[in-house]
Amino acid sequence: MNTNKIPVIAIDGPSASGKGTIAQLVARKLGFHYLDSGALYRLVALKAIQLNADMQNSGQLAEIARNLNVYFKDEQIYLDGKIVTDDIRTEQCGIAASQLAAYPQVRAALTERQRAFRQLPGLVTDGRDMGSVIFPDAILKIYLTASAGERAQRRHKQLIEKGMSANITDLLQDIQKRDERDSNRSIAPLQQGADAKLLDTTSLTISQAQDTVLSWYNDILAKTRV
Ligand code: CDP
């Protein structure tokens, strides 16, 4: 079947904006598949750390990305058959992911793996370039953000809930550095595309943000049915 007809909701945005939480909830509500593209970059980072790879060697990192032995099952992430769902969430992995995500060869190595998630009845995905590069024909593109201070609070809560240690001041600094690196890289930079709707969640609850996405999607469906 021509997968281009399968609806995709692409949610891009900066670090710790809550896009993953919203994307997952929307996917569940619609019965769609879900792709956390950042997890793939984090998995490459984890594998590179395990192999003690040279973080400046884009060829070696791309090779790791191409050969990544990973699968997603029942909300768990497996790398080489071992559950790494929490291991990839450390700040160390996030920072390394952001560094290696700047290499075009690494991004290219992950492109088809991401597109393979486009399956019936539809896909909700989140990342930095879902609407701009991976699924340019997505039916709904959203740029989901929140203030840096609010994002640091959210990331803090998330790490503490996972039993990891975290410090708000350090997290805020990490977030600002990551924003800068993700926004200024030459390939697939983080930015709001002209065709993406802005969703600022600074003062929205999770359920308000989820409802906004669902109502935008329903509006599009209503229009395409006419
Ligand atoms: O959880 P957080 O939003 O901090 O990051 P993530 O979505 O897990 O992604 C980790 C890193 O991977 C980001 O800082 C980006 O540099 C990179 N990434 C990317 O370049 N393109 C994507 N589609 C997703 C993530």
Average of pLDDT values for 81-109? Answer: 94
pLDDT reading at 97 higher than 90: yes
Residue nearest (by alpha carbon) to ligand 1 atom 3: 15
Average of pLDDT values for 154-172? Answer: 91
Whether residue 225 lies inside any domain: the answer is no
Question: Residue written as tokens 């709904």?
Answer: 140
CA distances for 163 relative to 15, 84, 144, 149, angstroms: 20, 15, 27, 21
Whether residue 3 lies inside any domain: the answer is no
Residue nearest (by alpha carbon) to ligand 1 atom 7: 38
Distance CA 97, CA 173 (A): 16
Laid out side by side, the sheet with 33-36 consists of 33-36, 123-127, 8-12, 140-145, 197-200
Average of pLDDT values for 140-149? Answer: 96
Query: Would you say how long the chain is, in residues?
Result: 226
Whether residue 27 lies inside any domain: the answer is yes
Structure tokens, 137: 């024909």
Burial label for 51, CB within 10 Å (0-12, 13-18, 19+), is: exposed
Ligand 1 environment, Cβ below 6 A: 15-16, 37-38, 41-42, 94, 97-98, 101, 127-129, 178, 182
Residue nearest (by alpha carbon) to ligand 1 atom 18: 38
Distance CA 130, CA 192 (A): 11
Q: Is the separation of the CB atoms in 190 and 179 below 8 Å?
A: yes
The secondary structure of 97-136, three-state, reads HHHHCCCHHHHHHHHHHHHCCCCCCCEEEEECCHHHHHCC
Confidence of residue 144 (pLDDT cuts 50, 70, 90): very high
Q: How far is the CA of 6 from the centre of ligand 1 (A)?
A: 24
% of residues, the chain, pLDDT over 70: 99
Lowest mean pLDDT among 106-110, 159-163, 194-198, 216-220: 159-163
CA distances for 76 relative to 153, 166, 223, angstroms: 25, 23, 36
Q: Probe ligand 1: pick from 8, 112, 128, max atoms within 8 Å of CB?
A: 128
Residue nearest (by alpha carbon) to ligand 1 atom 21: 128
pLDDT reading at 22 higher than 80: yes
CATH number of the domain to which 170 belongs: 3.40.50.300
Residue nearest (by alpha carbon) to ligand 1 atom 13: 98
Whether residue 102 lies inside any domain: the answer is yes
pLDDT reading at 1 higher than 70: no
What's CA 195's distance to the chain center, in Å?
A: 19
If you average pLDDT over every residue of the chain, what do you get?
Answer: 94
Q: How far is the CA of 31 from the centre of ligand 1 (A)?
A: 24
Q: Probe ligand 1: pick from 34, 35, 37, max atoms within 8 Å of CB?
A: 37
Whether residue 19 lies inside any domain: the answer is yes
Confidence of residue 201 (pLDDT cuts 50, 70, 90): very high
Q: 166: part of which helix (H) or strand (E)? A: none
pLDDT reading at 226 higher than 70: no
Whether residue 226 lies inside any domain: the answer is no
Give me the number of domains the chain comprises.
1
Distance CA 202, CA 200 (A): 6
Residue nearest (by alpha carbon) to ligand 1 atom 23: 127
pTM of the model: 0.92
Whether residue 74 lies inside any domain: the answer is yes
Range of the domain at 43: 8-220
